[in-house]
Structure 1
Amino acid sequence: MLFDLNRYSINDFKHETRQLLTLALPMMLGQIATIAIGVVDTIMAGAAGKADLSAVALGSSVFVTVFITFMGIMAALNPMIAQLFGANKITEVGKTGQQGIWFGIIFGIIGMILMLALIVPLKNYLHMDDYIEAQFGQYLFYVALAMPFALVYQALSAYASSLNRPKPIMWINWAALIINIPLNWLFIFKFNMGGSGAGLATLLIFCFNSLALFCHIWKTPYFQPFGLTQTFRLPELTAQKNIWKLGWAIGLSYFLEVSLFSFIVWLIADLGEDFVAAQQIVGNLNSMVYMIPQAIGSAATVRVGQSIGRQQFARARYISGVSLLSGWILALCTFTLLLTLNQALVGLYTQDASVLHIGASLLIFVGFFQLFDFTQCIASYALRGYKITRVPMVIHAIAFWLLGLFPGYALAYWANMGIYGFWAALILSLASAASALVWYLNKRSLWAMKNRAL
């Protein structure tokens, strides 16, 4: 049977599922809170007007593309720290975590400069209302300044979660969500900044997140033996190279997926504000749902990485299978909810009849999309636990772009399917990626188990 699930008792399955969900649930709730900040931004910008919503949609698509790409690079810290923790290399855990913070600072500054440099060219590309273009530029300016804080927070999150302490991340993310609401109201409406006020709120939220998590790690006795905050170390070139060597392929995989959605937002701009606004709403909802497989996948990375650190290769393979099976069950539940509540969910964002109709129709496609997205996400995360990142990147490149964006454009404009053509192609691309990644995970986990090596 796939991943040797039949070789273990039902009690083993219950135990491993419980361990997985104990780690995944706080991650999922924390990640949902993070994405909910974007949802709040979208809802409150939409309350300011359709033009503000369109500006935030365009600006957010750029920010999310850069941020998630760099966040993917930072994800290399999870398997690195998890394997060191599993092998009981206490000093190395703290050293790697500190080098991860330096890595986040360096790449955060690079990301900030990149986003600032994009403002003028992208404004020149747009052929929309002057107000939308101005709001877009101001929004992107503020969120660009947030990049260093955002990536330091990712480094600290990877450190804490890989040491089996995801709950503080969850509570900080929910505190940030609550704080974000009055900040948005203050900047968007009270100071009359419009949609760009959401960008300033985002900057302040990431500052809060990074400072709060650092203080928690600093003051909590559990973390002190690892030495993250007890010893100051300058960035070391070898350590930075090691993070980059493992992380660049993950970052590229993230880029290939998120840029697909960002490109769609820009490619449908000519269809009008209604389609841009609907895509932003559906994209928000899809991002919320994606937190479920991402949390299961992140937990799988940690559990698989810790098992490999202990040289338990058969257990690592089994954990991969349990993670996928859990994901399939949750995907079916999500599929059912999206198809039955599509009108109500889109109605939370807007009462504009045109946008509501387009968004509700798109959410049906999103429901089918999840069946494959859960699978490919969890499989790729489990492979990261083995420190395997390049093959998933190649699979994502082929699936997302050759089978996703280009056929989507053809269906949208040559076959006159409009925005629905993009989503039809997305379902095909995710199905292809899911099949390939599950096959490769099964092959490599079996090889590692038989040879007791990576």
Structure 2
Amino acid sequence: MNPTHTYAQKFKQFLVILLPILITQLALSAMSFFDSNMSGKFSSAHLAGVAIATSLWIPVQTGLSGILMAVTPIVSQLMGARQEQKVTFHVVQAVWFSIVLALGVLILGFVSVPLILNSMSLEPTVRNVAQGYLLSISAGIVPLFAYTVLRSFIDALGQTRISMAVTLISLPVNVALNALFIYGLGSFPKLGGIGAGVASAITYWVVFLITLFIIHFVHPFSDFQLLRQLRGISMGAWKELSKIGIPIGFSIFFETAVFAAVTLLMSSYDTTTIAAHQAALNFATTLYMLPLSICMSLTIIIGYEAGSSRMKDARAYAKLGISFAVLLSLITAVILLMAGKQVAGLYSNEPVVVELTSHFLIFAIFFQISDAIATPTQGALRGYKDVNVAFMLAFLSYWVIGLPVGYILAVFTAWGAFGYWIGLITGLAVGALLLMLRLLKVQRKYAAAEHMKLS
């Protein structure tokens, strides 16, 4: 990355970082889409089983991955401050940390998942698919978490096109494996939704091994000699990683877990409602890749500018990124209004599921408008390494406001299942406002410090 002086230069550099991240995130989201889509084509019961499984897995995966994503602001600020010699140490320590996290998840999952599923009033097929999916995907947790660290390192160097290339390679691999294991093509077993978990686990290993090859042999990553300097564990480095990463992870966890909680609460509804909710939520998650990609781009760019003590440029990038996210959200809102039923038809052949999904998608419009403000703002705050307040605001917005409001509307009014979505929208809107106010406060603090330094 290079210093920029005009908005045109900033927008160009922003796009150079953003576009590969966006393509990467869309490809990752496409994997989730094909899991839901192909399971739904198998049967609505298998789609519901995958929905329950992912509602348990995704909050854990994204929350812990958020901790590991602390590598991005750490490395980007080191690069901005011209302290490249410290990068290898921090990345290697993060890899060790990721392995310990993954092993902890495996142990906890094998103990708790059967208990959780047995406590829910699920149809036998739905329960079996959910348990089989989680058991299958567990085989890929260690490489997935290690890959998260390596990808954060690659992106922090501004080489987001590499992450994009790896993900684009893995997408057709995942889809092909889904076809083999869900539908039992050829001599492969016909596993339905469980097959989606098998395919994902294999894909995680493929992605990890490709990334290992790249950082070992491809410039500029090979210059850091990550695989040649496998030092022992440093609790000091783990403490620094945790100090930044745990608030990021909790913030992501609070947001993803509230959606998962709604899916679990919906287990009291019929299979059709669960399937429609999961289909609409899956597409809303795909739209979420737009603000999420901008969020990740702002973390890299603002981290680099903050590390270089160019606070005016950091503020300009934050304004640019958030404005661009809002514009994109308005465009996607129009698309959803015009083509909601066509989108719903991608997930199911059953007319009643398609009709109900199209109604849920109307609420998804309001999701992504709030996300367009809240998510990039979080990315900007992470670039400043200001992460503690954000996770507290996330808890307040989603769990103190959003979920209780949704529960009240769903249980005590005629809104039914839609009430949960209204509650989520309320929480997201409150979160967007509070995060924006926090960003403005942080920027004023840095501006005052910069003014005092110059005077």
Which TM-score tier does this pair reach, normalised by the shorter chain? over 0.9
Shift of 1:182: 1.8
Do 2:40 and 2:347's aligned partners in 1 also have CA atoms closer than 8 Å?
Answer: yes
Structure 1 residue 146: deviation in Å? 1.8
Residue equivalent to 1:107: 101
- How far residue 376 of structure 1 moved from its aligned partner, in angstroms, is 0.3
SS at match of 2:191: coil
- Map 1:293-304 onto structure 2 (within 5 A): 293-304=291-302
Query: C-alpha separation between the residues in 2 aligned to 1:206 and 1:221?
Result: 23
Partners of 2:239 and 2:60 lie apart in 1 by 20
Equivalences for residues 39-188 of structure 1 within 5 A: 39-188=33-182
Q: In the alignment, residue 38 of structure 2 is paired with which amino acid? A: M
Report the Cα distance in structure 1 between the residues aligned to 2:327 and 2:106, rounded to whole angstroms.
39
Please state how far the C-alpha of 1:393 moved relative to its aligned partner.
0.7
Q: CA deviation at 1:192?
A: 1.5
1:307-318 equivalences under 5 Å are: 307-318=305-316
Any unmatched runs of 5+ in structure 2? none
Q: Deviation digits for residues 55-84 of structure 1, max 9, x if unmatched?
A: 111111111111011011112111101000
Deviation at 1:379, TM superposition (A): 0.4
Regions of 4+ moved over 3 Å = none
SS at match of 1:235: coil
Equivalent residue number for residue 331 of structure 1: 329
Is residue 433 of structure 1 aligned with residue 431 of structure 2?
A: yes
Question: 2: distance between equivalents of 1:47 and 1:328?
Answer: 34
The residue aligned with 1:38 is 32
Q: Please identify, of 372-381 and 123-132, the stretch whose mean Cα deviation from structure 2 is larger.
A: 123-132
Q: Any stretches of 5+ residues in structure 1 without a counterpart?
A: 1-8
Deviations 1:402-449 (A, max 9, x none): 211011000011112112111112221111111111111011112112
Structure 2 residue corresponding to 1:404, chosen from 388, 402, 406? 402
Distance in 2, Cα, partners of 1:157 & 1:218: 13
CA contact (8 A) 1:375 1:434 kept: yes
Residue 6 of structure 2 aligns to a residue in which SS?
Answer: helix
Measured in 1, the distance between the counterparts of 2:359 and 2:44 equals 19
1:277–1:355 Cα contact (<8 Å) kept:
yes
CA deviations over 1:202-244 (Å, ceiling 9, x no partner): 1101111111111111111212332323322122111111111
Q: Determine if contact 2:41/2:349 at 8 Å carries over to the other structure.
A: no
Q: Take 1:118 and 1:267, find their aligned partners in 2: how far apart are those partners?
A: 18
- Corresponding residue for residue 199 of structure 1: 197
Q: Indicate the SS of the match to 2:227.
A: coil
Tell me which of 357, 360, 364 is aligned to 1:359: 357
Report what 2:370 is aligned to.
372
Whether the 8 Å contact between 1:63 and 1:143 is mirrored in structure 2 is no
CA distance in 2 between partners of 1:438 and 1:13 (Å): 21
Answer whether contact 1:116 1:144 (CA < 8 A) is retained: no
Give aligned pairs, total.
445
Match of 1:281 in 2: 279
Counterpart-to-counterpart distance in 2, 1:282 and 1:334:
14
Using the TM superposition, give the Cα deviation of residue 126 of structure 1 relative to its aligned residue in structure 2, in angstroms.
2.3
Kindly indicate whether the alpha-carbon contact (under 8 Å) linking 1:103 and 1:240 is maintained by their aligned counterparts in 2.
yes
Letter in 2 for 1:451: A
Q: Which amino acid aligns with 1:95?
A: F
> Which residue identity is paired with 2:143?
F
SS at match of 1:229: helix
Counterpart secondary structure, 1:234: coil
Q: TM-score, normalised by structure 1?
A: 0.95
| TM-score normalised by the chain length of structure 2 | 0.95
Letter in 2 for 1:254: I
Deviation at 1:386, TM superposition (A): 0.7
Contact conserved, 1:317 with 1:446, CA < 8 A, in 2? no
C-alpha separation between the residues in 1 aligned to 2:144 and 2:109? 14
Question: Which residue in 1 is equivalent to 2:379?
Answer: 381
Residues in 1 aligned to 2:174 and 2:221: alpha-carbon distance in whole angstroms: 29
| 1:3 aligned residue | none
In 2, Cα distance between equivalents of 1:387 and 1:176? 31
Check if 1:271 corresponds to 2:265.
no
RMSD (CA atoms): 1.6
Give the superposition deviation at 1:118.
2.3
1:253 to 244, 251, 254: 251
